[in-house]
Chain A
C-alpha cells in the first residue's frame, strides 16, 4: 500500500479489483434507484394512445407534451393548495419549534424533561388514533375542509419534531452567549430574538426543508381533513387521478412527476441542508 500522506482521500485512487467491484455494485444500485424515476418520466412523455403496460419500458416516440399538459392542467389548482398549505405550516411550525427548542435547551425548568417526553411521543403516534376526534374538532371550529384547518393540523402535529430538532441544535450553542446577554440585561425572549434567532438560520433551513418535505408528502391528513377536491393538496389529487376509472396513464405518470417536483427541486438545490436535517432530527448527539 502506498504510504498515506494526505488526510483526504483516505485511499489513493487506483484501479484494483476492489474498485472495479465497487463500481459495478454502485452502477447497479444507481440503475435500481433511478428505475422508477425513469418509468415516471418516460411514460409521462408518451401520448395517450401509446402508453400501456406492455410498452412501459420503451422510450417515447417523440418528446412533446405527452401527458404533462393535461396533468398540469388537472393538478395546478392542487399544487396551489399544497403551496398555500405547506409554506405557512412550515414557517409557523419551525418558528414555534425554535422557541420551544430554545426554552428546553437553555431555560430548562423542573419537569421539562418529562413533559418533553410526552411531547415527543406525539411525533410517533399513528394518526389513525386521532382521526375521528380531530375531524369532529375541526368541524366544530369550522375549519374542516379548509386549508387553514390542514395548516393547523400540520403545525400542531409538527411541534414535537421541530422542537426536538431545534433543541438538539441549540444544545450545541454555547451557554456563554446566553449568559452574556443576561448580564447585559436582556430578558429570556429578548435573548431569543436578538441572539438565538440570528444564530439559528442554518437550523431554520434544515428544519424548514424537513417540514416542507414531510408536509408536502403527507397523505392521511389531506385525505381525511379536506374533502373538497378543489381544496386538496396535490398528493391526494394524484392518488385520485391514479384511481379514477378510465384515466390515461401517461397523465397519471406525468402527474406523479409534477407532484414530486417541488420536493425534488428542494432536494436537488438544498440537498446539503436536507441531509443535515436528517442527521439533526434523528441522531441524538
Chain B
C-alpha cells in the first residue's frame, strides 16, 4: 500500500461491520463521534464559550472591582481607548520589532547550527543536546539569568572589559562598548516625522515608531531559548532528505554550500513554514520571559501586549480594557494561525 493510502481514513470499516454477525446499535461513525464528544464539549466551553464572554467584557463598562456588564456606548469605545493609549501603541511597535529580531535570530542560529551539525562530528550529539537544552527550561528561569547578564553595570558589559574588547576599542580611539541594553530608552530609526507627512496625526503621537533598543536583549534571550528548537526541527527535516538527492546534486557539480543553498534548504520549506507559524505565534503571546526579565522597560520600550493585559486586569482592575487587548491578541494570533490550519488541512485531504 502506498503511504497516502495508509493515511486515509478507514472507509472499509463500515463495510467490515456490516458483515459482522451482530449489527451494533450505532454505526462506527456515531460511536467515534460520541467518544470524542466530551472533548468537543470541553473545548466548546473552555475555548469558544470563554472567548465569547471575554468579548462581551471587552464591550462593557466593567472597570472597577464592582462587576458591570452593561454595554458601553458607543460599542467599540474600549477598543478606541485602547488604541489611543501611548502604551498600547508602544506594545504593538514592540511586538513587531521583537518578532523581527527574534525570528531572524532563531532562524539564523537554528538553521546555521543544523547545517553545521549535519555531519559526523566528535561529540556532535552532545553539542546538539546542549543547543536544544534551553528549550526545556522555563521562561522564568532564563528570564532571571538573562536579566543579570544584560544589566549594564555587570553582565556582558563586564565581560567586554574582561575579554579586553573595550581595551582594544579604546586603543583604536573608539568609544568602549557599554550598551545600556534593556535600560536604554532610545528608539532608533524613528519613522514619526516621515509618517507625519502622509498622516499628520502621527506628528502628535507620543510614541516613537522606530526600533526600541531595549527590546533587543529580550529578543536575544528569546532567540537563545528557541533557536535550539528551530535547529532540532531542521535536523529532523534534513534527516528525511535522502543521501541520493545530495549525491545527485554533487554529481551535477555543486559544492557543499551550493548543495545546501539550492537543494536542501528549499526542500526544507515545509519545516520553515511550520516554524514561522510557531515562532510567530509564540512572539505574539510572549509574557513570562519579558515579565521576569525586564518588566515594561524604560518608556515602555519592552512592554508587550501580554503584560499590558495582565497589569490592566489585575493591577488596574480595568477589566474591559484588558479584555479588549486580549481579544486583539486573539485576532492577531488568529490571522496567523487560521490560514495555516486551513491550508495544512486542505493539503492532507
Determine direct contact between A and B, CB below 8 Å: yes
Q: Residue of B at shortest CB range from A241? A: B144
Q: Is B47 at the interface (CB under 8 A from chain A)?
A: yes
How many residues of B sit at the interface, in one of the four size bands?
35 or more
Complex: how many Å from CA A180 to CA B138?
45
Write the A196-225 contact mask toward B (1 if CB under 8 angstroms, else 0): 000000000000000001001101100000
A85 within 8 A of B: no
Asked whether, in the complex, the Cβ of A156 is within 8 Å of the Cβ of B46, the reply is yes
User: How far apart are the CA atoms of A129 and B50 in the complex, in Å?
Assistant: 8
Fill in one digit per residue for B316-340: 1 if any A CB lies within 8 Å of its CB, else 0.
Answer: 0001001101110110011001100
**Complex: chain A residue closest to B349, CB-CB:** A113
The reply on A50 being an interface residue by CB < 8 A is no
**A-B pairs with CB below 8 Å: how many?**
297
Tell me the dominant secondary structure on chain B's binding face: helix
> Which residues of chain B come closer than 8 Å to A115, judged between CB atoms?
36, 40
Kindly state whether residue B169 has any CB partner on chain A within 8 Å. Answer: no
Residues of B within 8 A of A131 (CB): 54, 309, 313, 326
Residue of A nearest to B155 (CB): A56
Q: Is B100 an interface residue (CB 8 A)?
A: no
The answer to the question of A57 belonging to the interface, with a C-beta cut-off of 8 Å to chain B, is yes
Contact (Cβ within 8 A) A264 B330: no
Q: Judge if A20 is at the interface, Cβ distance under 8 Å.
A: no
For the complex, what is the distance from the CA of A249 to the CA of B147, rounded to whole Å? 12
The segment from B24-32, B73-81, B183-191 found at the interface with A is: B24-32
Residues of B within 8 A of A129 (CB): 50-51, 54, 323, 326-327, 329-330
Given contacts A40-B145, A126-B284, A219-B287, whether A283 and B271 have CB atoms under 8 Å apart is yes
In this assembly, does A259 line the interface, its C-beta being within 8 Å of a C-beta of chain B? yes
Say whether A104 contacts B36, CB under 8 Å.
yes
Give the distance in Å from the alpha carbon of A68 to the alpha carbon of B9 in the complex.
54
Q: Which of A118, A268, A278 contacts B233 (CB 8 A)?
A: A278
The verdict on A45 contacting chain B, using a C-beta distance below 8 Å, is no
| The residue from A54, A216, A282 contacting B158, defined by CB atoms under 8 A apart | A54
Interface residues of B in 219-269 (CB under 8 A from A): 224, 228-229, 232-233, 236-237, 243, 246
Q: A54-B154, A260-B141 are in contact. Are A274 and B348 (CB under 8 A)?
A: no
A-side interface mostly: helix
Chain B proximity of A174: nearest CB distance (Å): 6
Report A-chain residues with C-beta under 8 Å of the C-beta of B142.
Answer: 36
Taken together as a complex, chains A and B put the C-alpha atoms of A159 and B306 apart, in Å, by: 23
Report how far A134 CA is from B48 CA in the complex, Å.
Answer: 11
- Would you call B330 and A125 a contact (CB within 8 A)? yes
Q: Bound state CA distance, A259 and B284, in angstroms? A: 26
Residue of B6, B136, B275 near A174 (CB, 8 A) is: B6
B148 at the interface (CB under 8 A from A): yes
A279 within 8 A of B: yes
Q: Are B12 and A156 in touch, CB under 8 angstroms?
A: no
Q: Is A217 a contact of B138 with CB atoms below 8 Å?
A: yes
Contact in complex: B326, A7 (CB < 8 Å): no
Contact flag A126-B329 (CB < 8 Å), given A34-B130, A113-B349, A213-B136: yes
In Å, the complex CA distance between A249 and B154 comes to 14
B83 contacts A by Cβ under 8 Å: no
B348 is contacted by which of A159, A242, A267, A284 (Cβ under 8 Å)?
A284
Binds A, one of B13-21, B84-92, B199-207: B13-21
B43 at the interface (CB under 8 A from A): yes
A30 interface residue (CB < 8 Å to B): yes
Q: Give residues of chain B (101-116) contacting chain A, Cβ–Cβ below 8 Å.
A: 109, 112-113, 116
In the bound complex, residues from chain B placing their C-beta under 8 Å from that of A22 are: 116, 121
**CB-based contact B141/A57 at 8 Å:** no
Q: Is the CB of B292 within 8 A of A242?
A: yes
Are B28 and A188 interface neighbours, CB within 8 A?
Answer: yes
Contacts of A172 in B (CB 8 A): 6
For residue A160, CB closer than 8 A to chain B, the reply is yes
Q: What is the interface of chain A, defined by CB distance below 8 A to chain B?
A: 7-11, 13, 22, 25-26, 29-30, 32-37, 39-40, 43, 53-57, 96, 99-100, 103-110, 112-113, 115-122, 124-134, 137, 156-157, 159-160, 163, 171-172, 174-175, 178-179, 182-183, 185, 187-189, 213, 216-217, 219-220, 235, 238-239, 242, 249, 252-253, 256, 259-260, 263-264, 266-268, 271, 274-275, 278-279, 282-284
Q: Give 14 new A-B contacts, CB below 8 A, not counting A120-B341, A129-B327, A217-B138.
A: A33-B131, A33-B134, A126-B333, A130-B50, A137-B50, A159-B43, A178-B10, A178-B13, A179-B12, A183-B16, A235-B288, A256-B140, A267-B132, A267-B136
- Closest A-B pairs by Cβ, 10 of them: A9-B120, A108-B9, A217-B138, A109-B29, A130-B50, A53-B154, A36-B145, A267-B136, A107-B32, A133-B50
